[in-house]
Amino acid sequence: MRALKKIIIFIIVAAVIAAAAYFGYGYYQKWKGEKEPAGEVSANYADGVLTVEGSGRMPNYSSAGSDREWDSYKDELTNVVIGSGITGIGKNAFMNMTAMTEARIGSDVEIIDVNAFNGCSSLESVNIPASVKTIGENAFWGCKNLKDISYEGSKEDWDQVSIGENNIVLTDANIRFSGGEEVSDSSSAAGSAVEETEEVNIETTSMYRVSNSETEELYYTTIDSERDALVASGWNYDGIMWKQPKSSNTPIYRLQNPATGAHYYTIDWQQRTDCVAAGWSVDGIIGYSDDRQSIPVYRVQNPNAVIATHCYTVSEEEVNTLVASGWINEGVAWYACS
C-alpha cells in the first residue's frame, strides 16, 4: 500500500513538472513577485487618452497584454495619465503601446515596474515624479523616440533612483529637473559616448535561422557548425536574419524546454529566471543586442503551437503576415546592428 502511495505521489509530481515545462514561459498569464497586492484601480479611455485612477499599486499584466482592460485600444492610445493615489505602475502595463506619444505619471507613484513602457516606440515625452524610487528592468526598453523627460525632483534625487538594466534611453534623454535645471552630464556624456561609438566600426556577427518543416520550429544561432549540423540532419537553412555585435552590455540568452524541445530567446534576466523555474534549461548566451538600438528585432508568438511558439525577425512585413494569421506581436525583443 505504501509503495502504491509513493507511486501515485511520484506521478502527481511528475505531471506538475511536465505541465510547467509544457506550457512554458509563453503561456504565463501573470508576472510573479509583486511586492504588494494590487490596489483599487480603474481606467477610463476617451479620444486617445487613457486615465488610470484609484489608490495603491496597479496589478501586473502578462507580456502578451491580453489581460489589460485597455488592450483593445493599444493601436489608438496616444496619451496615458496616471492619477494621484496610484503608487506603482505594474509590470507590462503599457508594453507595446506603439501609438503612445506622452505619459504623465502621478505624484504618488514609487515604482515603474519591469517592462512598464517596453516597446512604446512612439513615446516622446514623460514626466517622472520625485516620488519614484525604482524603475524596473526594460521599463523603457525600445522607446527609441523618448528624448524629453521631466523629473519633478533635483539632480541629487535622480541619482538616488534605482534604475534597472536596459533603460539606456533614460541616460540619453534630455532630463529637466524641478526649477528648470537641465541635465548636463547624463545626456551629454552618455550621448557623446553613443555618438563616438557610432563612428567606430563595431565588430559584428551573423545570426542564422534554420527551420524544421515537421515541427515548424525556428532555430537561431551564430555558430556555423551548429547551423551546418542541423541542415545535415534535415533542417532548412533560412539564411542570415540580421547582424549583431560580437559583444555588448546586453546578452541574449537561449533556453530550451526539455519536454517539447522548444527554444526561447530573451535578454531579460527575470524571464530567464522564470523559464528556469518552469523547468526550462539554459543553453547559454547566443549573442548580444545592439545597445545603440539601431534595428529592432521583433518577437511574435504563436498561441496555438507547442514547439514553434516564437518567431524573431527584423522584418515588419513578416510580423504583419504572422499577426494576420493569428500570431501575437510581443514587441521588441532586442536590437540588431545597422
The mean pLDDT of the chain is 82
pLDDT at 78: 93
Facing residues of 301 across strands? 310, 328
Asked if 20 and 260 touch (Cβ cutoff 8 Å), the reply is: no
Burial of 180 (0-12, 13-18, 19+ CB in 10 A): exposed
**CB count, 10 Å around CB of 249?**
11
Higher pLDDT, 52 or 198: 52
Given a cut of 50, is residue 13 above it in pLDDT?
no
Contacts of 223 (CB under 8 A, 6+ apart): none
Grid coordinates representing 168?
539606456
Given a cut of 70, is residue 4 above it in pLDDT?
no
The DSSP line for 92-112 is TTTTT-TT--EEE--TT--EE
pLDDT at 237: 95
User: Domain limits of the chain?
Assistant: 40-196, 204-336
User: How many CA within 13 A on the CB side of residue 230?
Assistant: 20
What is the three-class DSSP state of 283?
A: strand
pLDDT at 26: 41
- Taking Cα atoms as reference points, which of 310, 297, 253 lies closest to residue 276? 253
pLDDT digits (tens, 9 = 90+) for 93-112: 998 888 999 999 999 999 99
One-letter identity of residue 112: I
pLDDT digits (tens, 9 = 90+) for 124-169: 889 999 999 999 988 998 888 887 788 988 888 998 999 988 888 8
pLDDT digits (tens, 9 = 90+) for 23-69: 343 433 333 334 456 778 999 998 899 999 999 999 999 877 788 98
What dotted CATH number matches 40-196?
3.80.10
The DSSP line for 140-157 is TTT-TT--EEEESS-HHH
What is the three-class DSSP state of 226?
A: helix
What is the three-class DSSP state of 136?
A: coil
